[in-house]
Structure 1
Amino acid sequence: MRRPVVVLVLIVLALTACTVPQQRDDDAMDKLAAESGEVTAVFERYRAVRNTAVRLLDAKPLSTVEVGPVLDIDTGSFEVAERLSTAQAEDDAPIDVREVVTPRFSAYPLWFMAVVRDEEREVNRVQVFERDGAAAPWLLVSTPETVLDAELPELRERDGGVLRVDPEESTGMAMSAQAAADAYAAVLEDPQAQEAALLEEDGFIDQMRATAAQNADLAGVTYEQQWSSQTVRHVLRTADGGALAFIDLERSDTYEVEDGVTVTWPEDSPQQAFIPQGISTTGTLLHHHQVLVHLPGGDAKPRAIGQYGGVIGAEGF
């Protein structure tokens, strides 16, 4: 007799923004990353290319203005939009750049931070653009989002530029930015990890744990979530002696499904777009998360204040 198939439909939790500051550094600095006119040109080019990608519903043009995890996340979202036929009919809203801060550098790569307001989506994008050489283009490398009323920590300035911090530097703080990134990966993978005592439990951690708990409760499914941190490269000193760090995390969700059970997702979800047939044996969804973390000065624990992430691929099908 053929066994009945049980279909499990997962409810997708929206990724909401949280908030966080960053760290410091005393490098010898002799050149601002970018002057105001150059920053204006960077954003004009970025918006033109992104609007072209939106109109074409094709992420390929984005590779000329984005790189790394942010490109992976946006490529994944465009792939979802294409599969679900949710193309935008018009260009994105005009870019509302609220603040730009530029460190000083003595060598490439150069980078600067900008806060961009998106009233339609009700978020601020805290973006980092980087340039690898004099002939290289400026590329978006990080864009975590915060709620509109979130206030970033005040940054420390010297000689007309904001101060950078070595990602491995922990002077004046409970830990370095790299240690914080590694701690987030450890705690998100295992809530009982010893690193849990080092971090402030914030909205990002709560949200990721809620997603993991929901999936772990599925009947007939063995679920495993794994996290890893990437090398931290962008950290700024805050006025309180702490730091504002941009960290990148990788996440994989693996489902082992018993015979007769199929895991599916709602039709308008990224997961369903990547795995329209659902999972009836074993499969893994891959994610990237860009997290903005505040490491306060003194002994206070790091806390996430913003994030941007999404599904970037699937394996095992």
Structure 2
Amino acid sequence: MEEPERLARGFERGFLAGRRLADLPWEDLELELKNSRDSSSLLAVLQKTVLHPLCLKYPPSVKYRRCFLTELIKKHEGVADEPLDALYEALGNVLNAEESTHCYKNYLLPSGDAVTLCESTAIISQGTTGLVTWDAGLYLAEWALENSAVFSGRSVLELGSGIGLTGIAISKACRPRAYTFSDHHQLVLQQLSENIHLNGFLLEPKAHSQDAAKGQSCTAELVELQGPNLTVVELDWNSVTKEQLADLRPEVVLAADVVYDPQLIQALTGVLQKLSICNSDGDPPEVYIAFAIRNPDTYHLFQTELDKAGIRWQVVPGSQKNLFPYDSHANITILKLHL
């Protein structure tokens, strides 16, 4: 691979996923510009980022693209006398674009496919943090792609799916038989369904609808040709019954970044206890929960509640590839629970 192409690939994955600009390989670009004294590297980076087909169709936020191009122009001006028209033309197009409360992020898979998500540009929006992708979800998706045998041909239930990164990645790359996404916030469920559709899955109404106020669920089934059966379910941890969980027939249960609030831990533990007895005709499901340890006290509280419930746990080694752009310095853990 030629150096400009290799350098551009270094920007591509992080830029498309909206990674922090400071984490992109600017030093490598500076070194290449000083050594080559031409614009081939800059043009290659431009083609793999702002002019990438995914970016043109599903762009990151206007602010993100503007700041990226401004930094790219600074790097060029630091070593060249003549302006590079392509850079200024791209910046002009971005400056004329309208800001939005939503943006797109594109997470590249090893297969060359991508998970495209519409996300909120604000961490907290409409009273929820569920409209953005969190590091633990990226971490869990990365682990899942390296351990696809856990999911292949099996029925998976995800608790607190958010806007769908982990589940869509698994559905695309790990060949589950069925995947049930679940959450409780109505706006999150709506955005989740839109993102599933955005990634090529067809939405078909299911035959039954239930009253969520009574702990029942409004369900929509999504089917992809020759792919898993995907379902979106409204799930209230405080009122869901073991019978409802049994109807979902999960063989594997996942959750990412659901251990951050002490007030949620008891409800989560209650769901796990119900899952341990919901499969009367078979073994309890395998359970994997990933979370960033922001407060050690909250982590220890979760461990204590698991011990009280008689749920054994073990730490699962994470991926070392850093395929997705989460903070590599974040303290993220995956626990395998034995119900």
TM-score normalized by the length of structure 1: 0.25
The structure where strand makes up a greater share of residues is 1
The structure where helix makes up a greater share of residues is 2
